[in-house]
């Protein structure tokens, strides 16, 4: 198996891929779009993409989901544990500057303020680790993953320094080929789809009535504008259950009546994180 991800070696995306698919070959990509493109053009390559973070919210990949319309194979909730990476032998009082992605820096704000370290924004966490490794300067540090420390020969001076100790990112795995697990009543599933409503009053309210009547639990509803307009919107939606379950199938048929466009993106087993 080959898995494409955004970033360079040591990123949290690659860390998630290696944890869940330890035998897979990982392929770094410059952008999310590059990862989607590889998965679209090669059925042997999957793309692992962050979709939402517990603290900062949506990663805003919905337009790419719409553009490529790949099958969602799986979801994985991965803990984002930020570490202070330094040149071996560095002490905390040596550090004057810290480098990382803006989201990572914002999530370790208390630690940075406590130690009076100057923040420096970089494109990604793993890139900041590679940069520190190349400088060989004990006054500079990076905020990045454990995997980054191993790849770039850095020491973890402080681990788990994020302000909120529970910090998970949800990753989705996309592939070209359509597949879904066989429906089993004792298993829990997510059905994912996108839709665009017909232009009529109260369309969204009417479209979701079937889910309420059939007691189908919605886990996500995210709107985003159609390209080139502010008056037409798509919705990225997920519900609990398998499309082969009568109540889910019925609810989606009710929804489609009110849609000008509807596409199933995938059915997959719920990550065990949802049981917490």
Is 268 in the active site? Answer: no
CATH class entry, domain 2-79+168-175: alpha beta
The domain locations on the chain are 2-79+168-175, 83-158, 189-275
Residue-by-residue pLDDT tens, the chain, 276 positions: 999 999 999 999 999 999 999 999 999 999 999 999 999 999 999 999 999 999 989 999 999 999 999 999 999 999 999 999 999 999 999 999 999 999 999 999 999 999 999 999 999 999 999 999 999 999 999 999 999 999 999 999 999 999 998 999 999 999 999 999 999 999 999 999 999 999 989 999 999 999 999 999 999 999 999 988 888 999 999 999 999 999 999 999 999 999 999 999 999 999 999 987
- Do 83-158 and 2-79+168-175 have the same topology in CATH? yes
Selected catalytic residue, list 26, 90, 125, 169:
169
Return the pLDDT at 162: 95
Is 171 in the active site? Answer: yes
Residue closest to 84 by CA, chosen among 7, 168, 160: 160
CATH class entry, domain 189-275: alpha beta
Selected catalytic residue, list 78, 171, 193, 262:
171
Q: Write the CATH number of the domain with boundaries 83-158.
A: 3.40.190.10
Distance CA(53)–CA(75), nearest Å, equals 13
């Amino acid at each position: 198996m080959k898995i494409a991800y955004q970033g360079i070696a040591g990123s949290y995306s690659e860390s998630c891929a290696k944890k869940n698919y330890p035998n897979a070959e990982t392929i770094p990509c410059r952008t999310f779009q590059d990862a989607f493109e590889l998965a679209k053009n090669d059925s042997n390559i999957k793309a692992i993409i962050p979709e939402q973070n517990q603290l900062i919210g949506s990663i805003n990949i919905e337009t790419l989901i719409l553009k490529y319309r790949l099958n969602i194979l799986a979801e994985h909730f991965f803990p984002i544990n930020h570490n202070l990476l330094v040149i071996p032998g560095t002490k905390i009082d040596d550090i004057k500057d810290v480098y990382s992605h803006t989201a990572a820096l914002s999530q370790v704000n208390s630690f940075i303020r406590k130690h009076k370290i100057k923040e420096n924004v970089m494109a990604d966490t793993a890139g900041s680790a590679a940069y520190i490794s190349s400088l060989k300067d004990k006054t500079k540090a990076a905020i990045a993953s454990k995997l980054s420390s191993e790849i770039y020969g850095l020491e973890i001076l402080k681990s788990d320094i994020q302000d909120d100790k529970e910090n998970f990112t949800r990753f989705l795995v996309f592939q070209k080929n359509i597949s879904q697990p066989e429906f089993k009543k004792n298993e829990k599933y997510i059905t994912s789809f996108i839709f665009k409503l017909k232009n009529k009053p109260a369309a969204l309210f009417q479209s979701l009535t079937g889910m309420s009547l059939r007691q189908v639990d919605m886990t996500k509803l995210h709107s985003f504008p159609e390209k080139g307009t502010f008056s037409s919107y798509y919705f990225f939606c997920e519900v609990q259950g398998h499309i082969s379950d009568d109540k889910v199938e019925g609810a989606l048929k009710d929804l489609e009546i009110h849609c000008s466009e509807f596409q199933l993106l995938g059915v997959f087993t719920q990550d065990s994180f949802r049981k917490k």
